[in-house]
Amino acid sequence: MAIAHKLLISVLIGICLLGVAGIFIADIGSTSPDPVPFEDTVATGVILENEPDEDRIDVPKAQVFYSQYEYVVGYQGIERFVDASQQTGHEDRFGYPTGVYVTDYSGTALELTTDGHLAANGTESWTNAESAWFVVGSEARTPAGETVVPFSRQEDAEAFTTEHGGTVVSWEQLLNHSFEIDDADVVRDRVDERHARGDELVSDATQARDRPTEVVVGEDVATIQEGIDTAPRGATVFIPSGNYNVTDTIDVDRPITVAGEEGTTVQGDGNGTVIRIEDDRAAVTDLQISGVGNVAEADTGDRNLDDSEDVLEMAYGQGDAGIEVNGSFRTVVENVSIETPANGVLLRDSPEAVVRNVTVDGSDHWDDGYMGVMTMRSPGGVIEDSHFRDGRDGIYTHRSHELIYRNNTLEGNRIGVHLMYTSDALIADNRILSAESTGIDVMTDPEHNAVVGNEIRNTSQGLLMGGSQSYVAQNVITDTEVGMTTAAGNSIYERNVIAGNVEGVQANQLLPTNQVTNNDFIGNHRHAAARLGVLRVWTADGQGNYWDGAVGSSDGTSLERSYSPTHPVDERLHRVDGTPTLTRSPALDTLTTFEGAVSGMRVESIVDTAPRCEPTNPELLAQIEQNSSKYDLCEPSLSDRG
């Protein structure tokens, strides 16, 4: 009981300190605060970082002061605030609005671009939402769809509808309006649809690949390049088994298939890219490629690269590769093995490419190598059934939206899957082992990504999610320092197994807008930690998560006692003797109730109000040889375990 006694003292001290530090959160005052610069808010809503012309797009905004939230919340897209305010539990997490301001387009020369995007000529200001007028259903759009256009004067709103359509409504009417927003539920519903689209693209690529043989290297022509230059469109250039040394890059500049057979090796001289595809619907199959140059990025010389696009183009979209695809549509790279000190396959401005059954062996140390597959502005492609060993990143994407990356194995990279400025991607059923840094890293505020069914083992960090409105499900993450982060806001994290990590999940998104349910937390030193923000409730519609160590009587599905992985006692229940007994103490029950009732006491905390009494995902636990039955507390006759 000595340990339990010390823990109880630490709880008392911690609760007192939280009470002092957090009082100001709820003490907003009786009058509405003044608006702040939008850059000083915690912003959510429409993301423009993925739009090349973002500087030309004006998104109407709202900023909201809440009674129980420390920060001012900025909504890019007023419809995003309206939708959020209608969601179950919104007021429980944030409190009620004590002040709402919206962009005021009165007094500006407001125009619409050909895409329907707003362009305001003049200085925009803020106006109180309750006295403003709003245009709904007009031609105005953001990159995310329909948007609400606010004005401080009713006559300005009516003038806008005369030119661009729509209806003028008051604030009260707007709060009852419904908007179609592609949220995380929509992303979840589209997973099967995305797989089906990938299947269709692969089927089309297979038909394009299988062309009649017209030219045989060594019989009809002396060299591979000569065969390509003489082959008619829609033909196959066949390369019999053997070693073929080339001193110049092979250029595939027409819609043909270049195919080898078992044992066909094309070896460059180590001074550049070995094969370059530069025409639509060309294919390269059944080859072993080596002798790739070791230039990983372009030499900028004396160029002044102020534009971030130029910097990324030079740093990631250039350099040597086993196969480079440049400005080509629906190309195919299949059944190819590449040894490379630089890139394996480089896709640049080449949409809907199919890369299948490719093996890339990179440099032994990631700092000496580059990407297994690099996609620069190459959306809609499929990369599947491939194996990427060593090198820097297994796959790196830049503005390659709607990418499908599935059924691949990645070993010993710096980062397994690295998404930059890439939305609407499907990252599914990949196996990522021993990454130096991170298994999957989703960066730069993307939207609508689905990360489903992946297995991540023995990495420093498992899954780092950025952006918003994404779906993360059925992933198995084990043997990491940090299993997963929930930095992608307004997202769904469900049916994941987080087991055997030092820290299971870091909740580091400032806005408590995520749905985290039906996950299994087993054998982590610390199941979850909240780095920033206020209370997160990881329960939805009566569904919580399974927490190894949680105690309480069972109704057959859930435990009657809430569980908080950030609570100084609960976080030790699965690894410190005496803590189950401590949870029954009347003093602790009183403190826990007090902490849940006072908003200032809930800073940087997580609570599950309906923790599950048995693991949700026994079939995933089997992948890591965990016996789910030993964690079963669902018998109604069982009471607290101690």
pLDDT band at 31 (very low <50, low <70, confident <90, very high): low
- Listed range (86-90, 214-218, 314-318, 607-611) with the worst mean pLDDT: 314-318
Same domain (yes/no): 150, 221: no
Number of helices (H), then strands (E), belonging to the chain: the values are 12, 49
CATH of the domain at 556: 2.160.20.20
Q: pLDDT exceeding 90 applies to what percent of the chain?
A: 69
Q: How many residues does the chain have?
A: 642
* Domain boundary, last residue among 159, 181, 203: 181
Same domain (yes/no): 67, 207: no
pLDDT band at 631 (very low <50, low <70, confident <90, very high): confident
Q: What is the mean pLDDT of residues 531-542?
A: 83
Q: Does residue 57 sit within a domain?
A: yes
- Confidence check: pLDDT of 445 > 90: no
CA-based nearest residue to 536, from 588, 603, 594, 473: 603
- Confidence check: pLDDT of 27 > 90: no
- Confidence check: pLDDT of 430 > 70: yes
Q: Does residue 25 sit within a domain?
A: no
Q: For residue 619, give the 3-state DSSP assignment.
A: helix
Same domain (yes/no): 434, 575: yes
- For the stretch 217-233, pLDDT in tens is 999 999 999 999 999 99
Rg of the chain (C-alpha set): 28
Same domain (yes/no): 558, 590: yes
Q: What is the mean pLDDT of residues 543-570?
A: 93
Summary mean pLDDT of the chain: 88
DSSP code of 79?
H
CB 427 within 8 A of CB 448: no
- For the stretch 379-411, pLDDT in tens is 999 999 999 999 999 999 999 999 999 999 999
- For the stretch 151-175, pLDDT in tens is 999 999 999 999 999 999 999 999 9
How far from the centroid of its chain's Cα atoms is residue 412's Cα? 22
* Domain boundary, last residue among 181, 201, 236: 181
Same domain (yes/no): 235, 134: no
Angle at the Cα of 243 from the Cα atoms of 238 and 246, rounded to 5 degrees: 85
Q: Does residue 433 sit within a domain?
A: yes
- For the stretch 35-78, pLDDT in tens is 999 999 999 988 876 666 656 789 999 999 998 888 899 999 99
C-alpha torsion 219→224→227→228, nearest 10: 160
Q: Does residue 252 sit within a domain?
A: yes
Structure-model confidence comparison of residues 561 and 309, the more confident one: 561
CB 612 within 8 A of CB 558: yes
Same domain (yes/no): 51, 90: yes
Q: Does residue 17 sit within a domain?
A: no
* Domain boundary, last residue among 153, 181, 209: 181
The H or E element that residue 579 is part of is helix 579-582
Q: Are strands 61-66 and 97-104 parallel, antiparallel or unpaired?
A: antiparallel
Q: Does residue 634 sit within a domain?
A: no
- Confidence check: pLDDT of 3 > 50: no
Q: Does residue 441 sit within a domain?
A: yes
- Neighbour tally for 159: CB within 10 Å: 16
d(CA 347, CA 323): 9
Same domain (yes/no): 241, 165: no
Q: Does residue 16 sit within a domain?
A: no
d(CA 532, CA 527): 16
Compute CA distances 346 → 299, 313, 321, 352, 355, whole Å.
17, 12, 6, 14, 11
What residues make up the domain containing 64?
38-181
What pLDDT score was predicted for residue 57?
A: 82
For 363-407, the DSSP string reads -SSGGG---SEEEES-TT-EEES-EEESSSEEEEEES-TT-EEES
pLDDT band at 509 (very low <50, low <70, confident <90, very high): confident
Q: Give the number of domains in the chain.
A: 2
Same domain (yes/no): 375, 468: yes
Q: For residue 12, give the 3-state DSSP assignment.
A: helix
- Return the amino acid letter for 136: V
CA-based nearest residue to 57, from 120, 117, 99: 117
Structure-model confidence comparison of residues 470 and 300, the more confident one: 470
Same domain (yes/no): 460, 351: yes
Same domain (yes/no): 382, 351: yes
- For the stretch 360-384, pLDDT in tens is 999 988 888 899 999 999 999 999 9
Same domain (yes/no): 160, 250: no
- For the stretch 282-326, pLDDT in tens is 999 999 999 999 987 655 555 555 555 566 676 777 889 999 999
What pLDDT score was predicted for residue 575?
A: 87
pTM of the model: 0.88
Q: Are strands 73-76 and 426-428 parallel, antiparallel or unpaired?
A: unpaired
What pLDDT score was predicted for residue 48?
A: 76
- For the stretch 231-268, pLDDT in tens is 999 999 999 999 999 999 999 999 999 999 999 999 99
How far from the centroid of its chain's Cα atoms is residue 507's Cα? 14
- Confidence check: pLDDT of 596 > 50: no
Same domain (yes/no): 499, 405: yes
Q: Tell me the backbone φ, ψ of residue 310, rounded to 5 degrees.
A: -65, -40
What pLDDT score was predicted for residue 171?
A: 97
- Neighbour tally for 43: CB within 10 Å: 20
